[in-house]
């Protein structure tokens, strides 16, 4: 690795720091970005159970919580430039729910499954290798792995007590305010984009079937331990999501915290994952994700230019105008973001930042770059 591409020592050692000016950043403008993040806290209450039960995603009975939920902390985060820590705010080692950031971690596991030959090809039908009743018939039988990873599967059914209809018609721009959950006619797989948590959970179960072991075990062994992450994080499913795998009872984990569960993690571990992704799936001299997988995750879906393989993109700078077009993000409800900007060699993690002010934060960070 060059001096410009350091990797931090394993947790709990402190992250290597560099003064903002030495990292090519204006110290005053960087401080302004940090102050902006601290002063624009998400409107979500600290009691996340109350938030989920208060019809944020859907009304009763569909909002029933079936996985772990914990109160959240305050705004916190950190910014890396050239792999060095240049700014930090709040308690960056507080473990909190991370909601749909978890989906982007599922994409990492899918890359490993593809490299291991567990997935023959992204355009292969899931039914060819997963025979558990979930991919049968003309609708579900036509679904490919790419469809699941791009949120274009149109999978139909009920999983772990939640019907896919709950998230049909979901509009993220109106999250918590607009109607959803109506039985619109399904389209053929691969022809309609929809953000649907039940379908992402169906992907998670399909990956569990292919690996033949709990996904958190694979994530720890293949990704988190090699990048020196802490052992503080955890990944949960639902009280209803226990399945049998080769004679063992294993919990299928969720792709977010919509009904509880998902990944509970702190900002420093998230920054490691962001830096690994920024470096194309490498950690120092070690390859973590398969060659080309990060590029695949960053390739826009034909039906949604802002979405890749469970990663959010800034194609044409039309999602976050203040960030570079090359930017990609792992995004979770409530204001959880890992932002990777290869153009400026930046990684930023912001916890509990009001989503309405994410672009403002990006503008201030980008504005601090001097060279």
Q: Mind listing the pLDDT tens digit for each residue in 329-366?
A: 999 999 999 999 999 999 999 999 999 999 999 999 99
Segment 192-217 shows an average pLDDT of 97
Distances from the Cα of 245 to the Cαs of 115, 160, 239, 254, 331, in angstroms? Answer: 21, 16, 17, 17, 30
Q: What CA–CA distance (Å, rounded) separates 303 from 150?
A: 9
User: Residue holding tokens 């022809």?
Assistant: 191
4 pLDDT more than 60? no
Element (H, E) at 202: helix 197-211
2 pLDDT more than 70? no
Q: What pLDDT is recorded for position 181?
A: 78
Segment 232-242 shows an average pLDDT of 98
pLDDT band at 7 (very low <50, low <70, confident <90, very high): confident
Q: What is the set of domains in the chain, with CATH numbers?
A: 35-97+268-367 (no CATH), 103-253 (3.40.710.10)
How high is the mean pLDDT of the chain? 95
pLDDT band at 6 (very low <50, low <70, confident <90, very high): confident
Note the pLDDT tens digit of each residue in 151-190.
999 999 999 999 999 999 887 776 666 677 788 899 999 9
1 pLDDT more than 50? no
Instruction: Of 17, 173, 145, give the one whose Cα is nearest residue 80.
Output: 17
Q: What pLDDT is recorded for position 97?
A: 98
pLDDT: which is higher, 102 or 175: 102
289 pLDDT more than 60? yes
From the DSSP assignment, how many helices (H) and strands (E) are in the chain? Answer: 10, 14
Q: Confirm if 273 and 338 have CB atoms less than 8 A apart.
A: yes
pLDDT: which is higher, 2 or 113: 113
Pairing label, strands 84-89, 76-81: antiparallel
Segment 20-25 shows an average pLDDT of 97
Q: What CA–CA distance (Å, rounded) separates 143 from 123?
A: 9
Name 40's Cβ contacts closer than 8 Å, sequence gap at least 6. 75, 353, 354, 357, 360, 361
- Reply yes or no: is the peptide bond before residue 221 cis, omega within 30 of 0: no
What is the Rg, in whole angstroms, of the alpha carbon atoms belonging to the chain? 20
Q: Confirm if 102 and 109 have CB atoms less than 8 A apart.
A: no
pLDDT: which is higher, 60 or 3: 60
pTM exceeding 0.85: yes
Q: Confirm if 52 and 59 have CB atoms less than 8 A apart.
A: no
Q: What CA–CA distance (Å, rounded) separates 202 from 252?
A: 9
Instruction: Of 97, 175, 242, give the one whose Cα is nearest residue 167.
Output: 175
Q: What pLDDT is recorded for position 183?
A: 85
Q: What pLDDT is recorded for position 180?
A: 79
| Total residues found in the chain within this entry | 371
Angle, CA 174 vertex, CA 171 and CA 179 arms, to 5°: 70
Q: What CA–CA distance (Å, rounded) separates 102 from 196?
A: 14
Instruction: Of 331, 338, 304, 310, give the one whose Cα is nearest residue 110.
Output: 310
Note the pLDDT tens digit of each residue in 26-40.
999 999 999 999 999
Note the pLDDT tens digit of each residue in 248-275.
999 999 999 999 999 999 999 999 999 9
Note the pLDDT tens digit of each residue in 109-151.
999 999 999 999 999 999 999 999 999 999 999 999 999 999 9
Could you say which DSSP state residue 275 is in? H
């Amino acid at each position: 690795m060059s001096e410009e591409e350091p990797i931090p020592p394993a947790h709990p050692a402190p992250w290597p720091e560099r003064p903002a000016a030495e990292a090519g950043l204006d110290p005053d403008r960087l401080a302004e970005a940090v102050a902006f993040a601290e002063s624009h806290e998400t409107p979500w209450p600290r009691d996340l159970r109350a938030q989920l039960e208060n019809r944020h995603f859907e009304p009763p009975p569909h909002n029933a919580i079936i996985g772990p939920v914990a109160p959240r902390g305050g705004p916190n985060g950190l910014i890396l430039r050239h792999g060095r820590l240049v700014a930090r705010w709040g308690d960056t080692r507080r473990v909190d729910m991370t909601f749909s950031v978890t989906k982007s971690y599922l994409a990492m596991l899918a890359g490993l499954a593809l490299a291991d030959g567990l997935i023959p090809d992204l355009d292969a039908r899931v039914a060819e290798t997963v025979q558990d009743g979930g991919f049968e018939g003309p609708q579900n039988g036509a679904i490919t792995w790419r469809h699941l990873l791009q949120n274009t599967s149109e999978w139909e059914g009920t999983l772990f007590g939640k019907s896919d209809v709950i998230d049909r018609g979901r509009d993220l721009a109106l999250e918590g305010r607009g109607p959803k959950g109506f039985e619109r006619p399904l389209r053929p797989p691969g022809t309609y984009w929809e953000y649907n948590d039940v379908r992402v959970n169906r992907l998670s179960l399909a990956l569990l079937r292919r690996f033949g072991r709990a996904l958190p075990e694979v994530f720890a062994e293949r990704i988190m331990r090699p990048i020196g992450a802490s052992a503080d994080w955890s990944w949960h499913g639902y009280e209803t999501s226990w399945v049998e795998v080769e004679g063992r009872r294993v919990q299928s984990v969720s792709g977010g915290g919509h009904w509880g569960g998902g990944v509970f993690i702190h900002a420093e571990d998230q920054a490691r994952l962001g830096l690994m992704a920024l470096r194309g799936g490498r950690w120092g001299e070690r390859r973590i994700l398969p060659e080309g997988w990060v590029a695949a995750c960053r390739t826009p879906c034909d039906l949604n230019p802002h979405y890749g393989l469970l990663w959010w993109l800034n194609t044409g700078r039309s999602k976050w105008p203040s960030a570079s077009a090359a930017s990609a993000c792992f995004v979770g409800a409530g204001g959880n973001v890992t932002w990777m900007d290869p153009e400026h060699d930046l990684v930023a993690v912001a916890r509990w930042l009001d989503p309405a002010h994410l672009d403002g934060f990006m503008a201030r960070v980008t504005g601090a770059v001097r060279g």
